[in-house]
Amino acid sequence: MSLVTEVLNLLVYLFIFALGAGFLALVLTYVIDRTQTKHAIRRNYPVVGRFRYFFEEMGEFFRQYFVAMDREEMPFNRAERSWAYRAAKGVDSTVAFGSTVDITSPGTLIFLNCSFPTMTEDAAPVESIVIGVGCRTPYSTDKFFHISAMSFGALSKPAVLALSNGARLSGCWINTGEGGLASCHLEGGGNIVFQVGTAKYGVRNDKGELDEDKLREVASHQQVRMFEIKLSQGAKPGKGGILPGKKVTKEIAATRGIPVGEDSISPNRHPDIDSVSDLLDMIARIRRCTGKPVGFKAVIGSCGWLEELFAEVKRRGDESAPDFITVDSGDGGTGAAPMALIDNVGLPIRESLPMVIDRLDKFGLRPRVRVIASGKLINPLGVAWALCMGADLIVSARGFMFALGCIQSLKCNSNTCPTGIATHDKHLQRGLVPADKAKRVMRYQQEMEKEVCVIAHSCGVNEPRKLRRHHCRVVQANGRSVPLDELYPPTGKTQQPVLQGVRNERV
């Protein structure tokens, strides 16, 4: 018998064996499905019923590419993501034939171009602002778009390395999130905002209380420019951070000061902050220890406490005020959160941002207290709107995730992120090359500021921070638009039109 014949016979035997094994597996699956009692579909439709779970799992991916229109998806549609991808890659971001936005739909924002827009040669550089004027080490920045809080743990090490290097290249800051300060934050060389979460990871003692020695150690790093006390975040107001145990590696555990492999669940609030007085005391304590600007982050729900807070600041003196307030949107993102909170709790940024700014104006605390806007602001439209409303600075988390290559697979909490951004699986992390992605982070940040400047110049102001509420209108249910300054009348001097460098006519 020839060698060829032997090989063919072997292949036939293997094929028959595979058919037999497959048939046996099918019969076994049929028996298991028919006799199990937990799943009605599989019990009534053995074997075939299992495809339901496969199609359910794959449906979100198929809809994204083959079903949903450019402006339909949530939380970010294809058009929004596409702009972020193109900006990060540095490719042509122009479009043809007309807008796909329905500009008559309620809630649509429309910026008002003026008859004589700002010429390119008349454009002014973005004005630098100072945060923490009374601190030993205040922070000054001429960038208005920065990287929002994302913890090492929720994100992979390569992702944090790319973000920190991108922050250095672009001149913006990166917020550590509540997971503490890791070596990958420092390695990039960019400016850092250290977030003090409810569990005080990275600056806690054995009892979970704030450790001032560790606080000073963090502050000793020149790159750490500010401290942010996290009261709440938009995706889960009233609930602390959630990091599944499968994502708590040895390095992450050491950074946070927690056991390896165990779920990292933060308290739903700071145990030592139970009132506005406690909050101001904590701000003063951290500022005294570090000598650097200190503010807080909160998603706004009930707002009576803001009145109490600002009244207490006026009683103590303006120097007791937080150096900044980060206003997060109720539709913010996160790696893991209860659906009851992520869907239903907290005001969106469109409502909460003017509430905070107007109350600061009312108490005469602007610009002593800088305002940072956060929450789904990943495109020039949202950033320019926030500046119109009076925000000094804007931060984005998911926008920079798109710059890293995020495809919105919604797997952040499962440790199976296919792009290597939100996973600690080394095989999946291999796809994310920090050196390449850092350049994308830089380009995304720069393109954002560039296109917001384009909007500002069209409105007749020579730099974005001179945008005011009367530069933008919002479409109402009847199809007509109303100026933002009619919907949210400014209460103080902050929002009054700036005469120098402004050409926009009032409509």
User: pLDDT tens digit string along 326-373?
Assistant: 999 877 666 566 666 666 777 889 999 999 999 999 999 998 999 999
Residue 498 has pLDDT above 60, yes or no: no
Distance CA 271, CA 282 (A): 12
pLDDT band at residue 494 using 50, 70 and 90 as cut-offs: very low
Instruction: Note whether 127 and 42 are same-domain residues.
Output: no
pLDDT band at residue 497 using 50, 70 and 90 as cut-offs: very low
* Boundary-marking domain end, from 43, 67, 91: 67
| Predicted local distance difference test score (pLDDT) of residue 238 | 66
**273 in a structural domain:** yes
| Predicted local distance difference test score (pLDDT) of residue 493 | 45
> What's the Cα-to-Cα distance from 214 to each of 135, 183, 202, 281, rounded to whole Å?
20, 15, 7, 18
Residue 479 has pLDDT above 50, yes or no: yes
The neighbour count for residue 368, using CB atoms within 10 Å, is 17
Instruction: Note whether 154 and 289 are same-domain residues.
Output: yes
Residue 466 has pLDDT above 50, yes or no: yes
Distance CA 249, CA 230 (A): 23
Which parts of 198-353 are beta strand (E)? 224-230, 242-243, 264-265, 294-299, 324-328
Distance CA 164, CA 183 (A): 10
| Predicted local distance difference test score (pLDDT) of residue 496 | 42
**367 in a structural domain:** yes
**186 in a structural domain:** yes
Distance CA 384, CA 68 (A): 27
pLDDT above 90 covers a percentage of the chain that reads 48
**Average pLDDT score over residue span 291-318:** 94
Residue 270 has pLDDT above 60, yes or no: yes
Residue 471 has pLDDT above 70, yes or no: yes
Average pLDDT, the chain: 85
Pair 201, 184: CB distance under 8 Å: no
290 phi/psi in degrees, rounded to 5: -100, -25
| Predicted local distance difference test score (pLDDT) of residue 225 | 97
**504 in a structural domain:** no
Q: The dihedral of CA 436, 437, 440, 445: what is its sign?
A: negative
* Boundary-marking domain end, from 67, 93, 109: 67
Pair 166, 184: CB distance under 8 Å: no
Closest CA to 283 of 230, 358, 206: 230
| Predicted local distance difference test score (pLDDT) of residue 360 | 96
| Predicted local distance difference test score (pLDDT) of residue 32 | 85
Greatest CA separation for the chain: 102
Instruction: Note whether 248 and 152 are same-domain residues.
Output: yes
- Give tens-digit pLDDT for 398-451: 889 889 988 787 777 777 788 888 888 888 888 888 999 999 999 999 999 999
| Predicted local distance difference test score (pLDDT) of residue 334 | 65
pLDDT band at residue 66 using 50, 70 and 90 as cut-offs: low
Say how many CA atoms lie within 13 Å of 89 toward its Cβ.
Answer: 11
**Poorest-confidence range of 49-58, 202-211, 306-315, 473-482?**
49-58
For β-strands 191-196 and 224-230, DSSP reports them as parallel
* CATH code at position 394: 3.20.20.70
- 3-state SS record for 139-163: EEECCCEEECCCCECCECHHHHHHH
**Poorest-confidence range of 175-179, 191-195, 331-335, 490-494?**
490-494
**97 in a structural domain:** no
Residue 65 has pLDDT above 80, yes or no: no
**111 in a structural domain:** no
Pair 175, 199: CB distance under 8 Å: no
Instruction: Note whether 171 and 312 are same-domain residues.
Output: yes
Q: How many residues does the chain have?
A: 507
CA 412 to chain centre: 13
Instruction: Note whether 250 and 175 are same-domain residues.
Output: yes
pLDDT band at residue 505 using 50, 70 and 90 as cut-offs: very low
Instruction: Note whether 62 and 127 are same-domain residues.
Output: no
For β-strands 264-265 and 242-243, DSSP reports them as antiparallel
Choose from 4-18, 95-109, 383-397 the range with maximum mean pLDDT.
383-397
Question: Which has more pLDDT, 58 or 460?
Answer: 460
Q: Identify residue 131 by its one-letter amino acid code.
A: I
Instruction: Note whether 355 and 477 are same-domain residues.
Output: yes
Report DSSP letters for 424-469, one per residue.
--HHHHTT--HHHHHHHHHHHHHHHHHHHHHHHHHTTBSSGGG--G
Instruction: Note whether 60 and 124 are same-domain residues.
Output: no
313 phi/psi in degrees, rounded to 5: -60, -45
Long-range contacts of 133-136 (CB under 8 A, 24+ apart): 133/323, 133/368, 134/319, 135/287, 135/291, 135/292, 135/293, 135/323, 136/291, 136/292
pLDDT band at residue 506 using 50, 70 and 90 as cut-offs: very low
What lies within 8 Å, CB to CB, of 251 at 6+ separation is 157, 182
**Poorest-confidence range of 64-68, 96-100, 228-232, 501-505?**
501-505
Instruction: Note whether 194 and 331 are same-domain residues.
Output: yes
Question: Which has more pLDDT, 200 or 496?
Answer: 200
| Predicted local distance difference test score (pLDDT) of residue 475 | 93
Q: How many domains, the chain? A: 2
Question: Model pTM?
Answer: 0.83
Distance CA 423, CA 406 (A): 12
The neighbour count for residue 46, using CB atoms within 10 Å, is 18
Question: Which has more pLDDT, 197 or 2?
Answer: 197
Residue 503 has pLDDT above 60, yes or no: no
**502 in a structural domain:** no
Burial class (CB in 10 A: 0-12, 13-18, 19+), 71: middle
pLDDT band at residue 41 using 50, 70 and 90 as cut-offs: low
| Predicted local distance difference test score (pLDDT) of residue 8 | 80
Closest CA to 184 of 153, 212, 215: 153
Residue 70 has pLDDT above 90, yes or no: no
**393 in a structural domain:** yes
Instruction: Note whether 63 and 124 are same-domain residues.
Output: no
Which domain does 217 fall in, by range? 120-131+142-495
Instruction: Note whether 191 and 256 are same-domain residues.
Output: yes
Residue 87 has pLDDT above 60, yes or no: yes
DSSP conformational letter for 294: E
